[in-house]
Amino acid sequence: MKRLNILTGLVLLLSSVVSNATVITSSADFSNYNHVGTSTTGSSASNSDSNYVNAGVAGFDASLGTLNSVSVSFTSTWDHTATAYARDNYYERSCGWYSCNYWNDTGINTTAREYLGISLIDPASAGTSLSSWLYGADCGRYDSYGRFVSCSDSDASNGVFNQTLSVSHIALADFVKSAGDTVDFSFQNYQSISLSCDNNDNGDYCSASSYGTWRGTVNVAYDYTAHATVPEPGSLALLGLGLLGLVAVRKRKIK
């Protein structure tokens, strides 16, 4: 029975000083909307713009233990819409002795692009990106009765953008942050639009736009080994009693 007490004390002491490997994950949400438009009474026009949104994720707290590895991933959804509009503002006709001919017409063709890019900016590292192209926002209309004409169209797309970022080349120490400091990301939403407008007469007007929203969550997972815990006083006392019991048993055997 006394030997059992000794072994129990040893097991409790050893289990209290074993280091444990674990993973904690820090996350941040992001949302980035951007819109560009252009118009012309000529034959063509274009426009583009980027919108940037930053998000910070809590860095690793060195007081937890020794950092072994870091992994970065994100999950997101996106949408992209292009619109087009054309209008004939000029009264087109030619008249002879007995009748007039009319050829009021208008038309537009567009190309819209949405580019989404994520970059790790602290600590600095490359990122990844996705592009969406829309070509379907096109329309045309003709009228032979002397009426002004217009037309409009739109095209849309959406999807899921989930990826991991390679950070194996970054020193683990760069992910260790003091209280309030963060691992920082930049999210770019770039939109561009270009159009060609029917301008075979005076006064045709065309306009187009490209817009979309990108939203999601970025996750940073820290794999670390927790610091060895100091044995509690109770465990030390139990071990001491066990050792005393072992000494007593040996003394009795000697007698």
User: Could you tell me if 8 and 82 lie in one domain?
Assistant: no
User: Could you tell me if 220 and 245 lie in one domain?
Assistant: no
User: Could you tell me if 128 and 243 lie in one domain?
Assistant: no
For the beta carbon of residue 137, count every other beta carbon within 10 angstroms.
25
pLDDT at residue 6, rounded to an integer: 45
User: Could you tell me if 171 and 63 lie in one domain?
Assistant: yes
Amino acid present at 27: S
pLDDT at residue 126, rounded to an integer: 86
The list of the chain residues with pLDDT below 50 reads 2-17
pLDDT at residue 13, rounded to an integer: 46
Q: Domain range holding 241?
A: 1-18+230-255
pLDDT at residue 38, rounded to an integer: 97
pLDDT at residue 239, rounded to an integer: 53
User: Could you tell me if 148 and 223 lie in one domain?
Assistant: yes
pLDDT at residue 99, rounded to an integer: 65
- To the question of pTM greater than 0.85 for the whole model, the response is no
pLDDT at residue 232, rounded to an integer: 59
User: Could you tell me if 243 and 147 lie in one domain?
Assistant: no
pLDDT at residue 246, rounded to an integer: 54
* Cα gap 255→2, rounded to integer Å: 18
pLDDT at residue 190, rounded to an integer: 98
pLDDT at residue 32, rounded to an integer: 98
User: Could you tell me if 101 and 170 lie in one domain?
Assistant: yes
User: Could you tell me if 65 and 180 lie in one domain?
Assistant: yes
Q: How many structural domains comprise the chain?
A: 2
For the beta carbon of residue 63, count every other beta carbon within 10 angstroms.
7
pLDDT at residue 16, rounded to an integer: 47
User: Could you tell me if 236 and 170 lie in one domain?
Assistant: no
